[in-house]
C-alpha cells in the first residue's frame, strides 16, 4: 500500500466517529447512514490531495463530511420524501432509568426534524466546537454562527418537548 493511502486510512480510523455521527444525524434509516458513511469516505479520499495541513485534519474532515452530507441529503430528499417521525411513537415515559444510548437515540430522532444546516450546527456544537470553528466549518461569519446556533438550539428544545422526549 502506498504511503499516502496508509496515512489517509490511519487518519480516517482515528476520526471515524465524526463520520458516524454525521451519517446518523443526516439519515434516519441505518442503510442510508451506511451509504452516506461510504460516500463521505469516497469524497474525503477524492479531496485528500487538497489537504495541505494548514488546519487540523479533523477540521478539514468536518468540512468535507458536512458538505458531502448536505449534498447527499438534498439528493435523498429529491428521490423520496422522508417520512416524519411516527406520530404514534410514545416516549413520554422516558425517565432517569433510560440508558445514555437511548437518550442519544431520542436526540438523533429530534435532530431528524431539523433542516440540513441546522443539523450541521448542532453536530458541530455537540463536538464542542467554538463559534469561530463552527463559522469556519460552515463558511459563515462568527456572529451568524452564534445567532443560527442559538435559534437552532431553541428549535431543537421545542421539538424535544413536542415529541415528549424528556432528558
Q: Which CATH number fits domain 1-83: 3.40.50.1820, 1.10.1740.10, 3.40.50.300, 3.40.50.720?
A: 1.10.1740.10
**Domain ranges (residues) in the chain:** 1-83, 88-167
User: Is domain 88-167 given the CATH code 1.10.10.10 in the classification?
Assistant: yes
Question: What kind and span of H or E run contains 101?
Answer: helix 100-111
- Tens digit of pLDDT for each residue in 76-131? 654 433 333 333 333 334 344 456 777 777 888 888 899 988 988 988 888 888 99
Q: How far out from the chain centre does Cα 93 lie? A: 27
Give me 61's grid cell.
Answer: 474532515
pLDDT digits (tens, 9 = 90+) for 28-53: 888 989 999 999 999 999 999 999 88
C-alpha cell at 145: 454562527
Amino acid at each position: 500500500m502506498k504511503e499516502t493511502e496508509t496515512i489517509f486510512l490511519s487518519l480516517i480510523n482515528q476520526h471515524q466517529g465524526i463520520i458516524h455521527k454525521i451519517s446518523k444525524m443526516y439519515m434516519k434509516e441505518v442503510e442510508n447512514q451506511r451509504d452516506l458513511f461510504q460516500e463521505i469516505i469516497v469524497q474525503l479520499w477524492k479531496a485528500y490531495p487538497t489537504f495541505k495541513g494548514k488546519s487540523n485534519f479533523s477540521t478539514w474532515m468536518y468540512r468535507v463530511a458536512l458538505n458531502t452530507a448536505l449534498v447527499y441529503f438534498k439528493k435523498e430528499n429529491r428521490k423520496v420524501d422522508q417520512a416524519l417521525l411516527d406520530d404514534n411513537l410514545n416516549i413520554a415515559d422516558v425517565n432517569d432509568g433510560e440508558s445514555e444510548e437511548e437518550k442519544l437515540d431520542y436526540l438523533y430522532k429530534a435532530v431528524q426534524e431539523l433542516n440540513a444546516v441546522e443539523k450541521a450546527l448542532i453536530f458541530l456544537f455537540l463536538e464542542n466546537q467554538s463559534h469561530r470553528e463552527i463559522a469556519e466549518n460552515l463558511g459563515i461569519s462568527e456572529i451568524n454562527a452564534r445567532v443560527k446556533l442559538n435559534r437552532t438550539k431553541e428549535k431543537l428544545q421545542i421539538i424535544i418537548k413536542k415529541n415528549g422526549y424528556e432528558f
